[in-house]
Amino acid sequence: MMSLQKKYPQNNSKRYGIERRNFLKYMAVVSAIPFAACRSTGPVEEQPQFADYPFKLGVASGDPEPNGVVLWTRLAPQPLTGGGMPPLPIRTRWEVATDEAFKNIVRHGRALALPQLGHSVHVEVDGLKPHHWYYYRFHTGNETSPVGRTRTAPEAEALPERLRFAFTSCQHFESGYFNGYPHMQKEDLDLIVHLGDYIYEYRGANNRPRKHLGGEIETLDEYRTRYAQYRLDPMLADAHRLFPWLVNWDDHEFDNNYADLVSEEEGIAPEKFLARRMNAYQAYYEFMPLRRRSFPQGPHMTLYRGCPYGRLANFHVLDTRQYRTDQPNGDHQKPMVGKALDPQATMLGARQEHWLMQSLAQSTATWNVLAQQVMMAPLNRGEGEDARYSMDQWPGYELSRRRLLKFFHERRVPNPVVLTGDIHVNWVNDLQLDFQAENSPVVGTEFVGTAMSSGGNGGNRITEYERAAAQNDFVRYYNSNRGYVSCELTPETWTTHFRVTPFVDKPGSPVINQASFIVESGRPGAKRA
């Protein structure tokens, strides 16, 4: 039995993880589990009968391409008590039409809802026209799903007049209601981007607007129930139904603040850590409109990917959790010294970093969008001479960050814009080539979006952030409200609107456009609109 490796570096930080060689041995055993689960060798229920409506979790679409998109649903008449489905593959049918009444059906087919994958269905539809809206639905037995709406991406060489999308993150169910989504739905969007913390793994707590079912989640069934609880929220469900999504994760989809094979908690057995990670990754796949290329292999899942939108924009979806080295210097807020400057430390891992730089170098898009999780700008949160930075964010991996910004500059990457979640507040940051050098050129722009609900109502004064906004001259904006971020891209400009909801402790919040910023193509850095 492999042993848990505990490391105590000279900086007195603690690491509780798994040696790579032991991880690979364990992977050899568990990586085949999901693939085996996808094989249907027994009988298939062709005409199921349901005691209750099987499409309670709705429908979704995602990862749009010029000729197609992923369609998703999950059969679950009893979504909070195990799903309520028989242990058999269930035949489903799907349709895609150009009209909501389905008078002009352009694609249709059949798919199996497998019990090994929670009776989820992922259909990769192709043969569609680029840059078109479509409607879709599922059937099983005598039941029909809600009608969803989705949109394909433009052709690779097309230059659309505009792209409108919204991004958000951090939707803690217990902290409040997802009041931003009803307003997001009223916008003329092509896409929704989610930057992680889609669920939270914590046990249910009292005296909050809403309560998680059960304790802290670890098993596959527990993760499934937690996702189902979130998906039953009508505001979230409608947002999935009306727009294609581009999804990404952060840490709470698995376990707070994990770093690759390193748990935040002391004394976690390696087999327990990896089993939980495998459960978390499988549940994430089961509930998200993802392509087969993202199918989990045991406790590993390739989530980083590209999503081009013609020659107007190229989305580079990054995973800053699964491949990073451990947070340096014991994590939290620390000076940028010691392990934070370790040349071997990595935020993305070698393979993902190589993929990103190759993708950026080959991109011909006007706007190159990095959809990722943690703040890239080195936000000094200390006082006076006591400079302190978040070791969980890019400043904890300083040489990785410098290498990427240098790549922006030297390879003249067209209009890099970084989208960030995680931190529960809004920021606008100019990304400088060298933040320590006076008059260093600006090489990109970072828009940090607030939480949808995490942290409660927000809008309060956070001393640490107020001070940081004042003393970091690359900061162009700071706000602590909840809400989402709406973006409009044209070949000439990028316009960002910070939409805030004054409260989340009850439904029905209005939305306020708190601030707007413009980035001009060829001129990095944001200006007030």
Q: Among the three residues 151, 180, 211, which one is the final residue of a domain in this structure?
A: 151
The DSSP code for 410 is H
Among 131, 151, 171, residue at a domain's last position: 151
Residue 499 confidence (pLDDT):
98
* CATH number, domain with residue 428: 3.60.21.70
End-to-end Cα spacing for the chain = 60
**SS3 labels along 7-60:** ECCCCCCCEEECCHHHHHHHHHHHCHHHHHHCCCCCCCECCCCCCCCCCCCCEE
State whether 192 and 294 are in the same domain. Answer: yes
- pTM of the full predicted structure? 0.94
Q: Does any domain span residue 19?
A: no
Q: Is 33 domain-assigned?
A: no
Is the residue at 49 inside a domain? no
State the residue for tokens 């997001």. 184
Q: Are 233 and 365 members of one domain?
A: yes
* Whether residue 434 sits in one domain with residue 299: yes
Residue 8 lies in a domain: no
Three state DSSP letters for 306-317 = EEEECECEEEEE
pLDDT tens digits in sequence order for the chain, 529 residues long: 222 233 323 333 334 455 555 555 555 544 554 454 455 567 999 999 999 999 999 999 999 999 999 999 999 999 999 999 999 999 999 999 999 999 999 999 999 999 999 999 999 999 999 999 999 999 999 999 999 999 999 999 999 999 999 999 999 999 999 999 999 999 999 999 999 999 999 999 999 999 999 999 999 999 999 999 999 999 999 999 999 999 999 999 999 999 998 888 888 888 899 999 999 999 999 999 999 999 999 999 999 999 999 999 999 999 999 999 999 999 999 999 999 999 999 999 999 999 999 999 999 999 999 999 999 999 999 998 899 999 999 999 999 999 999 999 999 999 999 999 999 999 999 999 999 998 999 999 999 999 999 999 999 999 999 999 999 999 999 999 999 999 999 999 999 999 999 999 999 999 999 999 999 999 999 999 9
Verify that 379 and 257 share a domain, yes or no: yes
Same domain flag for 238 and 338: yes
pLDDT of residue 515: 98
> Does the residue 1 lie in any domain?
no
Residue 345 falls inside a structural domain: yes
Q: Are 153 and 66 in contact (CB under 8 A)?
A: yes
* Domain final position from 151, 174, 205: 151
**Residue 503, helix vs strand vs coil:** coil
Q: So what's the pLDDT on residue 268?
A: 85
Burial (0-12, 13-18, 19+ Cβ within 10 Å), 185: middle
Residue type, 355: W
The answer to whether residue 300 is domain-embedded is: yes
Same domain for 171 and 142, yes or no, is no
Q: Which amino acid is at 53?
A: Y
Distances (CA, A) of 309 to 62, 109, 158, 187: 13, 27, 8, 19
Q: Same domain, yes or no, for 141 and 206?
A: no
- Specify the pLDDT at position 7: 30
CA 68 to chain centre: 21
Residue 520 placed within a domain: yes
Q: Are residues 418 and 336 in the same domain?
A: yes
Question: Taking a C-beta distance cutoff of 8 angstroms, is the pair 518, 497 a contact?
Answer: no
The reply to whether 111 and 167 lie within a common domain is no
> In 437-527, which ranges are continuous DSSP H helix?
463-471
Domain count within the chain: 2
Structural domain containing residue 341:
163-528
Task: Tell me the angle at which helices 350-362 and 398-410 cross, rounded to the nearest 10 degrees.
Answer: 20
211 and 92 together in one domain: no
82 & 229 share domain: no
Answer yes or no: do 382 and 345 share one domain.
yes
CATH code for the domain in which residue 109 is found: 2.60.40.380
Burial class (CB in 10 A: 0-12, 13-18, 19+), 41: exposed
